[in-house]
Each structure stands twice: as structure tokens, then as C-alpha cells.
Amino acid sequence: MSLEFSKKLAAHETPIPGVVLYDLPVHGDNRGWFKENWQREKMVALGLPDFRPVQNNISFNEKAGTTRGIHAEPWDKFISVATGRIFGAWVDLREGPSYGAVFTAELDPSQAIFIPRGVGNAFQTLEDNTAYTYLVNDHWSADAQGQYTFLNLADETAAVRWPIPLDQAELSDKDKAHPRLADVAPMPAKKILVVGADGQLGKALRAQYDGDPSVEFAARAEFDLTSADSFRNRNWKNYAAIVNAAAYTAVDAAETADGRAAAWAINVSAVANLARTAIEHNLTLVHVSSDYVFDGKQASHDEDEALSPLGVYGQTKAAGDAVVSVVPRHYIVRTSWVIGEGNNFVRTMASLSRRDIEPSVVNDQIGRLSFTEDIAAGIQHLLESGAAYGTYNLSNEGGPQSWAEIAADVYELSGKPRAAVTGVSTEEYFREKAAAPRPRNSVLNLDKIRKSGFEPRPAREALETYLGMTAE
């Protein structure tokens, strides 16, 4: 069979999600032919995942009719033919709605196919002296054998139409003994690891992903971000993403000697450990940031504004953002005035209203509340939607308010008069108190998260729901 020379590099989707067939340009003359079998820059631009291959394997098959598979390994593969011609068959053996989907195609040296982790791969040679190449993104090891998933080549459900009947083909005894589809244990999806899962955001993420076995939660007792053992004693090949819900948030205490050290340990050094792990294992890292990375002098803060923190807490959050920004696959989710399950401003105001206390509340700091339920939903959206990596502002929607106005809303929704709340300046409120400097304007521009397809819930609606759920 003669090759078609000078095809354009092109991608073709298949019925199996993530399996993409590629036409490869082959250049030939009287001497033979040459091709770029793997060209990262061009192929990534065409949409091929930058799967960072680490090993290249070649299967040489002396005779036509040699048949191998159906094997699903716990890594991605980029497959092509070096010489000869094959009939390839691929079966989705991953957990999920496409389980059991089948795609077949004949491949010669002018084609290649990307096979994601968990998709079963098989081929039958159609010519003598056929060489089949695999470019893979993990090192083969005997330890990985227990993570393989296999399907019988003759499975009646997949019903692959082999050009050469299997009873006339060359098969191994192992391949003949593989189970039918009904008896195959599907390969589970890679996991998302949520660290800091005992905090306000961690609890909201638990609720957001309730019942999803692909999301694993680790409180500090299960995963200590400051301990090297936490990172060494985990098989990161089984994970796709880490969500960092841990942070040191004691803004005023961070100005003390002990607080400063603790803030840098959690918000910077531990984040550096997460970033290093994400880079080494090609994971997506989701990191939660804060309005405190800004000095509050802008009317509205967008994602590209230069960092200008005022106090130690803000400085550590800004440093953490800078660390995470070097991870190729990252989402920095910047929030403001976080409210969730635990001690927070709204709970405090609700408690004061029930006791008929008339508080003095700061009225010259402006921003929007960010409810953890909505932050968790936004994180899930970014991970599942394929949104471009980078920084996203995420608070609830609505007009900017001062803390005093929010307190008055809480009183009003609790059946108490708004006038029970007295507004005071930041200087007056913190007079004779040790306090960190705070940004006066914490309003985050939400255009980017909206353009990604996520619509933040109005803050007033979220506040009403929250007070209804937390009422005693």
C-alpha cells in the first residue's frame, strides 16, 4: 500500500470522548519518506493535550494477522505506525456514560491517534513486518499491572469486526483469557484532592461534591500541608487536580511575630509544596486568593491589576498567588468577604440582632460578600467547563456595600430595624486596637468569570438563604 504524501496535519474527533485521530504530513521521494511523528508545538495548537510523554515503545510484528489487546492502561498514549498497516480497535473502559463505546480505523504511517487513560487499545496487523509505536506519559512498571483494565478481543458487546477472523489470527494466551465487557471492572476516573477540607470552604466543597467518588477530601489530620511526608506518601498518578481550601486567615494576628510565621508557612511555603507537586505530576491546581492582595485604591479590581498588599496577611496571599501562577494548569480563584459554615461576620450580626444589641459597624470599607456555597460551585465550574487557566475573581453579585450596610441587611432580614446598626469609620472602630491595615475598596470585577459561563448568585438572595439555614 502506497502512502499519501503531503497531507495537512489535521484532527478528527471519534465517538469516544478524548480519542482523536490525526492525519500526519509524510514527505517522500525516491529514497523513502520522512514524517514528524510527534511535534508538540503544532499538535498542541491543534488541540492535542500536552500530555508530557516520557517513554516511547515499539511493537514489531513479523506477520500479518498478529492481534494484540484490548488493554487499557492508567496513562495516555499517542499511537502511530512506523512501517506497515494496522486495523485498530478502541473501546472506552472508563467509568462514565461513554463506557463501552467503540471506534475502529485502519492506520498507516500517515496517521496517529491519541488514546486517553482508561480507553482500551487493540490492533491487528494487515501487513508483514509492521511496527507500531506508543508514546506514553508514564513509565511502565510491574507495579502498574494491577491498575490495568482488559477486555476480550472477541467480546460480543463490543463486536469488533476484525479483518482477519480471530481464529485465523495470532493471539497470546493472555489476550484470549481476558473477560467479557459484563465482567470488566471499569477504570475509575482520576481523583480531585481537596486539602483543607475541614474549613468553611472545605465544608462547602464537601456539600458541592456530595456522593461523587472521584473527589477525595483531606482535613489537616489526613494531609498536613507543612509535612513532606504528606506529599511523599501519596500516589499522585491517581489524581487530576488539587483544590487548596486551606489558608491562614487571621488577618490581625498575622501582624504578630508568631502570626507572621504561621501565615507565611500556610499561605506561601505550603502552597509552594502544592505547586511543585502539580508541576511534577501535571496536575491542575486550584488556589483560593483574597481581595487583601490589593490596596483597595481602585474602584473595581480586575484579574490583571498589579498586586499591592497592605498587611502581612495580604502579602502572604499575594506571594501564594505568584507561586501558583507558575503552574501550567492553575486556577487562582480570588474572593472577598467570605461567608460559610463557621464563625463569620453574618453569623455575628445575626447573633447580636437576636440579643437586641445595637452594634457600631465599619461604613467606609466597600465590597461584596462571597458565600462559600457559590465559591464551591464556581470551582466545580472551572474544573469541569474547560475554562482557560488563570485567575478568576469570584464573589456574589450585586451592588457594592459597606460592612455597616450588610449588617443592616442582616438586622432587617431578622425582623429588626436597620437603624439599630450605627456606621463608623475604620479609624474609629479600631481606635486603641491592634489591627492590620485593610483595603477600603474590595469590589471585584466579575466579567471574566461570567464570560466563562458562570453566573454568580446575587448577594442579597444568598444572604436570605444563608440566614434561613442558620436561624436558631
Of 372, 375, 192, which Cα lies nearest the Cα of 284?
A: 192
User: Positive or negative, the Cα torsion across 11, 17, 18, 21?
Assistant: negative
Q: Is 134 a catalytic residue?
A: yes
State how far the Cα of 12 lies from the Cα of 19, in Å rounded to an integer. Answer: 9
Cell of 434: 491592634
The length of the chain in residues reads 472
User: Among the options 71, 178, 301, 330, which is catalytic?
Assistant: 71
Q: Single out the residue of 365, 370, 270 nearest to residue 316, CA to CA.
A: 270
Given the C-alpha cell 472477541, which residue does it identify? 154
Q: What does the CA dihedral 192, 196, 202, 208 come to, rounded to 10 degrees? A: 10
190 SS3 class? coil
**Cβ within 8 Å of residue 451, ≥6 positions away:** none
Point out the catalytic residue in the list 134, 292, 411, 429. Answer: 134
State which H helix or E strand residue 381 sits in.
helix 372-385
- Does the annotation mark 71 as catalytic? yes
Angle between helix axes 459-470 and 345-354 (nearest 10 degrees) is: 60
Q: What is the SS3 assignment for 8-58?
A: CCEEEECCCCCCEEEECCEEEECCEEEECCCCHHHHHHCCCCCCCCCEEEE
Residues taking part in catalysis = 71, 134
